[in-house]
């Protein structure tokens, strides 16, 4: 049986499509968190805010990788932030796994899982996806200098969207925390 051989341009397109898909999934999770915050009044705790920072770091690493021609630096940044996300989310999940007196589990469950548990699932999935991507595609394949990276227009739109939700998130954190400690009791600058 002959081996499957793909053209280098097809491999580059598949690689970019995977990076784009991972970024879309992360930005959808961040959007869902923002919707839960504003539509359902679920004010994020400090650990939830740190998880969002880690997810934004993953997004920006993946977006940098989408722009890269001959480097895996963006993929490395995404891997580091995915590890950070896993550590933060696992800590919060372990803190809340056993109910303590006077401390109920915060937030609404989505498909039976709370947001910190979803963050663990997202972090592990992202780590596996990035590792598989490196295993399957290996080193980056340089494009000719004049060639435009595949899916460049979709990547630009996604970049704009990620920066927009990052700015909205930053504004909501400033309203919630001011310039001091963060609490889940309300929006400090609005009271």
| 110 against 171, higher pLDDT | 171
Res 68: pLDDT: 78
Asked if residue 29 lies in contact with residue 122, where contact means CB atoms within 8 angstroms, the answer is yes
Token pair recorded at residue 58: 């993953």
Give CA–CA dist 68/123, Å, rounded.
23
Tell which residue, 116, 112, 82, 84, has the closest CA to residue 97: 116
pLDDT digits (tens, 9 = 90+) for 132-177: 988 887 766 666 555 566 677 888 899 999 999 999 999 888 888 7
Asked if residue 82 lies in contact with residue 58, where contact means CB atoms within 8 angstroms, the answer is yes
Sign of CA dihedral 19, 47, 184, 121: positive
| 21 against 141, higher pLDDT | 21
* Phi and psi angles of residue 130, each rounded to the nearest 5 degrees, phi first: -70, -40
Prediction pTM value = 0.82
- Residue 110, beta-bridge partner list: 113
């Amino acid at each position: 049986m002959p081996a499957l051989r793909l053209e280098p341009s097809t491999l580059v397109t598949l690689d970019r499509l995977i990076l784009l898909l991972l970024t879309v999934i992360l930005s959808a999770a961040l959007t869902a968190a923002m919707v839960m915050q504003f539509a359902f009044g679920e004010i994020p705790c400090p650990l939830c805010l740190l998880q969002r920072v880690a997810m934004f770091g993953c997004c920006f690493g993946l977006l940098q990788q989408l722009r890269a021609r001959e480097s895996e630096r963006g993929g490395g940044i995404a891997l580091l932030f995915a590890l950070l996300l896993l550590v933060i989310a696992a800590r919060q999940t372990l803190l809340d796994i056993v109910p303590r007196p006077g401390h109920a589990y915060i937030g609404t469950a989505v498909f039976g899982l709370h947001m910190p548990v979803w963050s663990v699932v997202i972090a592990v999935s992202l780590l596996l996806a990035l590792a598989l991507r490196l295993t399957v595609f290996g080193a980056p394949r340089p494009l000719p200098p004049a060639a435009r990276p595949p899916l460049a227009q979709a990547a630009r739109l996604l970049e704009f969207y990620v920066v927009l939700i990052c700015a909205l998130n930053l504004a909501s954190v400033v309203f919630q925390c001011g310039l001091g400690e963060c609490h889940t009791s309300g929006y400090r600058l609005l009271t």
